[in-house]
């Protein structure tokens, strides 16, 4: 007998989904591995509030005691914010955490999988994982990219993190047939910076245009998600020229200290907060909230378009 999926959806999220009301999925790796305490928990709450402000229901996702939780009560979020035994889950280890009854935070890839299982179409994060610098040596390509190619969830982000090889990240997404949409921009944003120097393959302005695009893609029977690249607001950005040297220093340190695998992204984010004296964290917080707001507008537009 095959086991049933251990999926716990909060009553609020479940009734919104049943009514066709807008819901936005949120990830939890940003809480456990992406930001320091207490900003991690405070940001998660502000992001949820942003989703509500735009008229949608937030559904933060994590695995607790081997059960997928969609919608997290305050006390669980508080616990995640300081716990040290939380696995960083992607596609490969989501079933491990469930079978071994472990706790895990969900990355972009795992959040997409869980959101889709719950019936959620829209998800906001900070920046997706991508092709790492030095990929010729390490072959480090985030599983987020392949997930975008297979799971039908729209991911709103501020581009890919600028610690990555952005030209190769875009090439890989193109190869895998993932639509990368600039939201009100012609240029692919670089997480902390609004500009990367790289054009986006397509641009859409406004939530209704995004919703139309997603519905046409679904009607064509095309599998996979959509990556919506939404630049950080002007007043919060760190221009690329200012952060470049810090990124290069952090990447060199990671190589020198033999940091590999899942530890790479958390290491680089942490070092950048130190090297920028907190500025990169402040920018990260603003961009996640900005993505949550666009995601909620998109979820609202999609719910209007649904029969
Ligand atoms: N966005 C942020 N901070 C983060 C992440 C996204 O602002 O920490 C996380 C996401 O969970 C993403 C992960 O999936 O970083 C990428 O990890 P990796 O490079 O190991 O795939
Ligand atoms: Mn990796």
Span 143-186, pLDDT tens digits: 999 999 999 999 999 999 999 999 999 999 999 999 999 999 99
Phi, psi of 52, rounded to the nearest 5 degrees: -65, -40
pTM of the predicted model over 0.95: yes
Give the chain's mean pLDDT.
97
Q: Which of 25, 26, 30, 155 to mutate to test the pocket of ligand 1 (most atoms within 8 A of CB)?
A: 30
pLDDT at 305: 81
27 is catalytic: yes
Do residues 156 and 294 lie in contact, with contact meaning Cβ atoms separated by under 8 Å? Answer: yes
Q: How confident is the model at residue 1 (pLDDT cuts 50, 70, 90)?
A: low
Helix residue spans in the chain (DSSP H) = 11-18, 29, 39-53, 74-82, 94-99, 108-118, 135-138, 143-150, 166-175, 207-219, 240-256, 264-275, 279-305
Q: Is 95 exposed, middle or buried (0-12, 13-18, 19+ CB in 10 A)?
A: exposed
pLDDT at 40 over 50: yes
> Is 88 known to sit in a ligand binding site?
yes
Q: How confident is the model at residue 306 (pLDDT cuts 50, 70, 90)?
A: low
Neighbours of ion ligand 2 (CB under 5 A): 140
136 is catalytic: no
Q: Is 89 in the pocket of ligand 1 (CB under 6 A)?
A: no
Percent of the chain with pLDDT over 90: 98
Span 61-88, pLDDT tens digits: 999 999 999 999 999 999 999 999 999 9
How far does the centroid of ligand 2 lie from the alpha carbon of residue 74, in Å? Answer: 30
Q: Is 108 in the pocket of ligand 1 (CB under 6 A)?
A: yes
Q: How confident is the model at residue 3 (pLDDT cuts 50, 70, 90)?
A: confident
Q: Which of 25, 29, 33, 35 to mutate to test the pocket of ligand 1 (most atoms within 8 A of CB)?
A: 29
Mean pLDDT for the stretch of residues 129-141: 95
Which one is catalytic: 161, 262, 289, 297?
Answer: 161
Do residues 58 and 22 lie in contact, with contact meaning Cβ atoms separated by under 8 Å? Answer: no
Q: Is 265 in the pocket of ligand 1 (CB under 6 A)?
A: yes
Which of the listed CATH numbers 3.40.50.2000, 3.50.50.60, 3.40.1790.10, 2.40.30.10 matches domain 7-305?
A: 3.40.1790.10
Q: How many CA atoms lie within 13 A of 148 on its CB side?
A: 31
The reply to whether ipTM tops 0.85 is yes
Parse the chain into domains and list their residue ranges: 7-305
pLDDT at 197 over 90: yes
Of 195, 162, 200, 196, nearest in space to 181 by CA? 200
How far does the centroid of ligand 1 lie from the alpha carbon of residue 219, in Å? Answer: 30
Q: How confident is the model at residue 274 (pLDDT cuts 50, 70, 90)?
A: very high
Mean pLDDT for the stretch of residues 105-122: 98
CB count within 10 Å of CB 235 equals 6
Give Cα separations from 247 to 87, 187, 278 (angstroms).
Answer: 26, 20, 14
pLDDT at 84: 92
Mean pLDDT for the stretch of residues 53-62: 98
């Amino acid at each position: 007998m095959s086991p049933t999926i251990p999926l716990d959806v909060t009553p609020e999220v479940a009734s919104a989904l049943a009514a066709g009301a807008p819901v936005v999925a949120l990830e939890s790796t940003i809480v456990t591995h992406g930001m320091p305490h207490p900003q991690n928990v405070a940001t998660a709450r502000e992001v949820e509030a942003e989703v509500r402000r735009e008229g949608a229901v937030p559904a933060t996702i994590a695995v607790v005691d081997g059960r997928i939780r969609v919608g997290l009560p305050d006390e669980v979020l508080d616990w995640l914010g300081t716990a040290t035994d939380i696995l960083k889950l992607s596609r490969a280890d989501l079933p491990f955490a469930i079978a071994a009854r472990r706790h895990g935070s969900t990355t972009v890839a795992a959040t997409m999988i869980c959101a889709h299982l719950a019936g959620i179409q829209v998800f906001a994060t900070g920046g997706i994982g991508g092709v790492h610098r030095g990929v010729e040596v390490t072959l480090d390509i985030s599983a987020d990219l392949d997930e975008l190619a297979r799971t039908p969830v729209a991911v709103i982000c501020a581009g890919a993190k600028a610690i990555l090889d952005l030209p190769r990240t875009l090439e890989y997404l193109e190869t895998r047939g993932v639509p990368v949409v600039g939201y009100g921009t012609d240029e692919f944003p670089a997480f902390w910076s609004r500009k990367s120097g790289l054009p986006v393959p397509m641009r859409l302005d406004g939530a209704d245009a995004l919703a139309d695009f997603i519905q046409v893609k679904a009607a064509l029977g095309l599998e996979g998600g959509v990556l919506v690249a939404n630049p950080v607001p002007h007043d919060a950005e760190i221009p690329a020229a200012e952060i470049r040297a810090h990124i290069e220093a952090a990447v060199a340190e990671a190589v020198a200290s033999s940091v590999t695998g899942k530890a790479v992204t958390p290491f680089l984010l942490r070092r950048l907060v130190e090297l920028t004296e907190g500025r990169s964290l402040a920018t990260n917080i603003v961009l996640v909230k900005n993505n949550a707001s666009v995601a909620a507008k998109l979820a609202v537009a999609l719910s209007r378009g649904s029969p």
